[in-house]
Chains A and B, each alone.
Chain A
Amino acid sequence: QKEVEQDPGPLSVPEGAIVSLNCTYSNSAFQYFMWYRQYSRKGPELLMYTYSSGNKEDGRFTAQVDKSSKYISLFIRDSQPSDSATYLCAMSASNQFYFGTGTSLTVIP
């Protein structure tokens, strides 16, 4: 079993839709949770960084962590064509990072 599971998609939504991206994990030691956005031929860009359970909001993005269910989510409100990218979840315990495979998102104008 992989440390982090992420549905690869692809996910296609109309502009303005609410997008929900999710990851599950198996290691209860993970304490830090991240979402990265990766455009084609670019490196991953940090979007959200959270510690332990709860919600964090930044503009149109909300990160949610449920440690009891070992489940994290990223919500994108009012999605824009510029949000079209691959979204990677990542988790960390001490100094090691574990990544999902990424979900490919396309927002159709």
Chain B
Amino acid sequence: EAEVAQSPRYKITEKSQAVAFWCDPISGHATLYWYRQILGQGPELLVQFQDESVVDDSQLPKDRFSAERLKGVDSTLKIQPAELGDSAMYLCASSGGQGFGRAHSPLHFGNGTRLTVT
């Protein structure tokens, strides 16, 4: 079964440093999401892409976070500078549906990047 690939699995960084996470969605999935999940809570949306365009980044802390999906396939999420409160699991998900005439389909998640900021 096709999977969403994420790397790295774990990242430890010092505060004020820059970090980057990479995601490769399931082939053919037009919609890509980045979520942040704090232990004991559900995933919270950071940014949503439809192909290469940002659909929703209203919850993305834009002073320090950036995301891109240049060719509408894989995506990178960056944090600069990292803060202690950024320690969390960063999940990427993709979906074949949503908008532009596509039928609805559920999210499929990768295994995430667990970030620890010291």
Contact = CB atoms under 8 A, between A and B. Distances in A.
Interface of A: 4, 6, 8, 31-32, 34, 36, 41-46, 49, 51, 88, 90, 92, 94-97, 99-102
Given A32-B104, A90-B107, A95-B31, A41 B42 contact: no
Interface residues of B, number: 27
Nearest to A8: B40
Interface in B44-69: 44-45, 48, 50, 55-56
Contacts of A102: 40-42
A45 B4 CA distance: 11
A43 B114 contact: no
Contacts of A31: 104
Interface of A (DSSP majority class)? strand
B108 interface: yes
A44 B43 contact: yes
Contacts of B31: 95
B55 A100 contact: no
